Chains A and B, each alone.
Chain A
């Protein structure tokens, strides 16, 4: 029922289409500004925010440094607590485990807590192929699922929709999969949430199997932690008989007290709240209380690949807060779909290539989907230096093409630039040529730029991407270098 990102074009093409969607531009500009301002206000309240960021980064870094040990500890403590631990190398293995557990209980449906890991592995589609319906119960995920749409944000997957669109989706689609929306549905947020609550309730009460992810897993206690805002997660985690949690192996922290900085950083960074409304923790099975059969699927799916990358491994610290999306000027304008992944925005631009490699064109376009402005690094609660990883992943893309039989035009241009810049005499010749071109352009220019310089005309080739929308000053007749030579650095008095 959900859409799929398979076959998405590379970022520049997808972005071009998204930029023309006026409703999307308006919805995103409004939504990101609102969350951004909320976050800034609650972060400013915390005097030692920088220390907290360092602590959060430290907890995750320590866990990643000794990941194998922590995972073994986790498996032992989960098993001791009555949970069944599964290991999944990739999406296919993980989906097969969830399907097998569901079928073992004769169920043809599951209720789901919002989970990035299950979105990443395409669990809903895999279950559907096995004849199992997966019902999303997070409000925004429900909107995306009912709309047969794709998520466009990590925290608020329906951020690209406004309330009028949500009303229309509810009216059109709810009846087909359960309790219909009331005919007099308005676009008031409270009314829309009320309709979702009614629609979901019968699914909560009926479901035998629930599927979740986890925000954190504590190795020494075998505790899974889910952080959510709507209470739908709590319903899924407590009502059904069977609970299957799909957890990326990077979610592990060593001890219970490691949760302290994380649970303070996450709500302020993601929803802009001081404290999270519904924080559920459970360790295996508790007799007579909650699910009596608990499964934990520990998922690799590229994480060990990312871990092996010296620069990129810091991306595994990510706690999926979305702060980087909300401040990203690129994300704000193109939205999440253009990234072609459940992980959009700055973190997606590094996480996807790190998890999957850069061999396909779409993924290889993601590290370039940034102006390297650095706003993401500034807000990241676990101090992931996203700009540095972006540059490093660009190098990975370039290096993957070094053995191409026919080099790309860009590679040829960069080699030529490097040759020119490796010797100042070569650069001086290039500047003389550009000065001559500038004289010619100046003579034929029909445009004077504000301040008086002549504009170059429209340029051909890759430069057309510039002059299509931006005037470019014609190169000056004399470079700085030539001026310095001619006037002895302006000391001859004739200098201007």
Chain B
């Protein structure tokens, strides 16, 4: 099986550790994951803001980059949703039958990480170790657009040492919403403030989700509040082992402020 990692533009530029974690995790599970260098973005920022014409070349880049792979794995429910449900709209708009056909090939082969692990690889215990108090936020697109259901939860429950606590009002949107976070910043922040409050109420040390963009929003609010809660992508928790845990105060090593200086 030829497996490609679709890193997503946000992870590529802002959260490379998530990508590294996916690579470590998949290799540990025996998958030789490839990173097609021609990939860029799924086109969702354009589509969801209404710029369908602008999304056409981006979707074209996507299908070209991932042509021929059996599975395209992405650590984002939102980007998987975009590939599966929106690329066909963009392709139709382009009026190019070749693009429509190419999308019909890549769309059904695109998997969000937890879907790939549970449905394709058939594993729930990925051999992870993460001795922290964790709460999980099911992101809207993974939950309602893809229907990942309790797959992430199954994966987290099998992690050794984890203390998983329920998030109140878990299925309510965090308020990120892509360009919504800027175009309707006040409403976005009001929604995020309530999500952050629910996170704090759990007493968790780590908020986990399958989309770094949502985590960037809620994590940004929690950070501004000095709430003492960090955010981590699901992949980073699942990649963590006894070895990685020993290497730092936190399991999946983020870039320290000091490293940058």
Interface residues of A (CB under 8 A from B): 11-12, 15-16, 19, 329-330, 333-334, 367-375, 377-378, 387, 391, 393-399, 410-411, 414-415, 417-418, 420-424, 427, 430-431, 434, 438-439, 442-443, 445, 447-455, 462-463, 465-466, 468-481, 483-485, 489-490, 495-496
Contacts and interface: CB of A to CB of B under 8 A. Distances in A.
B192 A329 contact: no
A430 B144 CA distance: 33
B35 A484 contact: yes
Contacts of B191: 329-330, 333, 371
A485 B51 CA distance: 32
A414 B49 contact: yes
Contact of A11 (B61, B179, B184): B184
Contacts of A398: 49-52
Interface in B152-197: 171-173, 175-192
Contacts of B48: 372, 391, 394
A455 B187 CA distance: 23
Contact of A411 (B9, B51, B57): B51
B46 A414 contact: yes
Contacts of B177: 370-373
Contact of B47 (A375, A391, A445): A391
21 contacts: A329-B172, A330-B184, A373-B144, A375-B173, A394-B49, A417-B54, A420-B40, A421-B58, A422-B61, A424-B61, A427-B9, A445-B260, A449-B230, A452-B250, A452-B254, A463-B182, A465-B185, A477-B260, A479-B13, A483-B19, A490-B27
A50 B112 CA distance: 25
B40 A479 contact: no
A473 B217 CA distance: 10
A140 B230 CA distance: 45
B4 to A, nearest CB: 12
Contacts of B13: 430-431, 434, 475, 479
A25 to B, nearest CB: 8
Contact of B223 (A420, A449, A474): A449
B19 A480 contact: yes
A415 to B, nearest CB: 6
A471 B223 contact: yes
Interface in B35-55: 35, 37-41, 43, 45-52, 54-55
B71 interface: no
A391 B184 CA distance: 16
Given A333-B190, A465-B185, A466-B182, A453 B257 contact: yes
A420 B54 CA distance: 11
B50 to A, nearest CB: 3
Given A19-B186, A424-B39, A395 B50 contact: yes
A366 to B, nearest CB: 11
Nearest to A482: B16
In this complex, the member of B177, B179, B182, B190 whose beta carbon has the largest number of chain A beta carbons within 10 angstroms is B190
Given A387-B145, A414-B51, A475-B13, 13 more contacts: A369-B184, A370-B180, A371-B173, A377-B144, A378-B144, A395-B50, A414-B46, A442-B261, A445-B257, A451-B254, A469-B192, A470-B224, A490-B23
Given A418-B51, A451-B250, A477-B260, A466 B220 contact: yes
Interface residues of B, number: 87
Given A330-B191, A417-B45, A424-B40, A479 B182 contact: no
A470 B57 CA distance: 32
A494 to B, nearest CB: 12
A442 B187 CA distance: 29
A466 B185 contact: yes
B219 interface: yes
Interface string B1-24: 000000101011111110110011
A452 B260 contact: no
Contacts of A394: 48-50
A445 B255 CA distance: 14
Given A334-B187, A394-B50, A477-B260, A450 B37 contact: no
Contacts of A474: 260
A472 B40 CA distance: 22
A374 B141 contact: yes
Nearest to B52: A395
B7 A373 contact: no
A453 B178 contact: no
A471 B220 contact: yes
